[in-house]
Amino acid sequence: MEVRLEGLTKQFTETIAVDNVSVTFESGKLIGLLGPSGCGKSTTLFMISGLLKPTKGKIYFGNDDVTNLAPEKRGIGLVFQNYALYPHMTVQQNIMFPLENLKLSRQEALERTKEMATLVGINELLDRKPAQLSGGQQQRVAIARALVKKPRVLLLDEPLSNLDARLRLQTREEIRRIQRETGITTIFVTHDQEEAMSISDKIIVMSKGLVQQEGIPQVVYNKPINLFVSKFLGNPPINTFDGKISNGKIIIGDIELGKTNCNDQNVVIGIRPEDFKVAEDGFEVSITDLSRIGRDTTVYFNLNGIETRALINSEEVSTVNKIKLKVKREKIHLFNPEAGDCINE
């Protein structure tokens, strides 16, 4: 089921949480709504679920306008950030609860519950209470409860934020698997760019209630549309420098990085740490610190007064404190210093 938002706006008394958002969530895809806290991503999700009413704009599920439809009539499954499992019911009762409101025979309901429990892998936990489960198991129960009605769209609000680091890795693969197996359109909200990049078919980056950029994760990562997106994606974060273009050359301080067709102007230059390469014809920097983690080494150096990080293959770094680096032209991102927009050639 394709979900389409048209000019969706949510205004709370003082602030505009979501500002004229128009995006399409393609059918059968796993789509990540990504942004820092307070960017309006959860508000958007709750408007899609119907728990919040939009101030303006339309929501379409396929061809149906669901903007004024009550949540239960939209055919959605919603997984809350803290799972909202009913503490007084067993796992089985929790999963069966949405079915009790449908016209279903008990036998059929039980079968569906079993089916969902098998899908998320909690078959042996059906008689336990939520308090007796680990965070990851609770998460699975919540997903099973959301899926048991066979909804058209699955919505997940910060699905991994309550889990520890190891479980988070495991669970996000799990979410990916469940989504693949059921083929359900899934929208999930997260503030963790790594999480979104690793499992999404598409990411939508939001900030201050506006959609900044949408697309396939790797494309958004490689071609950030503005300074915010470039800074928000990537860990360790992108290095940014105040530089300029003069005579078709990209210049930071007194270092020339490459050539461009752009007009002469001041620019913000963004270079991701992994895009530095060791090269004999590069510019020379003096290393202030080194941290070697297996295959990669993070090199810290000062470039035109900015503390800079570069990720370099460990074999190419000796203990010398001077190193020659180079950046490929297509890896240098140029942004307008005022608007923050990417400067295209």
Partner 1 sequence: MNKFSTFKTKFNDLRWRMRNYKNDVKSLITNFFDKIYIGRIFKLNFFKGMLYLSPALILILIFTLYPIINSLLMAFYENYTPVDGMIDGFTLDNFKSVLKPGFLVAIKNTALIVFVSVPISVIISLFISVMLNSVKFLKSFFQTIFFLPYVTNTIAIGLVFSLMFDFDYGLINSILEFVGNTFVGDFFDLFGVTISPLHWKDSQATYATAMTTLLIYTIWGSLAFKIMVFTAGLQNIDKQYYDAAKVDGTSKWRIFTKITVPLLSPMIAYITITSFIGAFKSYTTVVALFGETGRTAGSVDLRTIVFYIYGYIMNGNALNPGELSRGAAASLMLFGIILVFTVIQMYVNKKRVHY
Interface with partner 1 by CB under 8 A: which residues? 49-51, 71-73, 76-78, 80, 82, 84, 86-88, 97-98, 100-102, 145, 149
Q: Smallest gap, in angstroms, from Cβ of residue 51 to partner 1?
A: 5
Instruction: Choose between 51 and 339: whose C-beta lies nearer to partner 1.
Output: 51
Query: Which residue, among 253, 262, 270, 263, has the nearest Cα to 331 in the 3D structure?
Result: 270
Q: Smallest gap, in angstroms, from Cβ of residue 98 to partner 1?
A: 4
User: Which amino acid would we find at residue 77?
Assistant: G
Q: Smallest gap, in angstroms, from Cβ of residue 47 to partner 1?
A: 13
Query: Which residue, among 260, 267, 255, 261, has the nearest Cα to 325 in the 3D structure?
Result: 255
CB 192 within 8 A of CB 201: no
Instruction: Choose between 150 and 292: whose C-beta lies nearer to partner 1.
Output: 150
Q: Smallest gap, in angstroms, from Cβ of residue 182 to partner 1?
A: 18
Q: Smallest gap, in angstroms, from Cβ of residue 100 to partner 1?
A: 8
Q: Smallest gap, in angstroms, from Cβ of residue 72 to partner 1?
A: 3
Q: Smallest gap, in angstroms, from Cβ of residue 154 to partner 1?
A: 11
Instruction: Choose between 44 and 49: whose C-beta lies nearer to partner 1.
Output: 49
Instruction: Choose between 78 and 325: whose C-beta lies nearer to partner 1.
Output: 78
The per-residue DSSP string of 191-232 comes to S-HHHHHHH-SEEEEEETTEEEEEE-HHHHHHS-SBHHHHHH
User: Which amino acid would we find at residue 295?
Assistant: R
Burial category of 59 from C-beta neighbours within 10 Å (exposed 0-12, middle 13-18, buried 19 and up): buried
Instruction: Choose between 80 and 221: whose C-beta lies nearer to partner 1.
Output: 80
Give the β-pairing of 249-252 and 276-293.
unpaired
CB 55 within 8 A of CB 10: yes
Instruction: Choose between 147 and 203: whose C-beta lies nearer to partner 1.
Output: 147
Q: How far apart are CA 88 and CA 312, in angstroms?
A: 53
Q: How far apart are CA 265 and CA 41, in angstroms?
A: 35
The beta strand positions in the chain, using DSSP E, are 3-11, 16-21, 24-25, 30-34, 56-61, 64-65, 76-79, 153-157, 185-190, 202-207, 210-215, 239-246, 249-252, 255-259, 265-271, 276-293, 296-303, 306-313, 322-327, 333-335
Q: Smallest gap, in angstroms, from Cβ of residue 148 to partner 1?
A: 9
Q: Smallest gap, in angstroms, from Cβ of residue 145 to partner 1?
A: 8
Instruction: Choose between 84 and 343: whose C-beta lies nearer to partner 1.
Output: 84
Q: How far apart are CA 153 and CA 33, in angstroms?
A: 14
Instruction: Choose between 122 and 220: whose C-beta lies nearer to partner 1.
Output: 122
Instruction: Choose between 101 and 319: whose C-beta lies nearer to partner 1.
Output: 101
Q: How far apart are CA 38 and CA 114, in angstroms?
A: 38
CB 328 within 8 A of CB 257: no
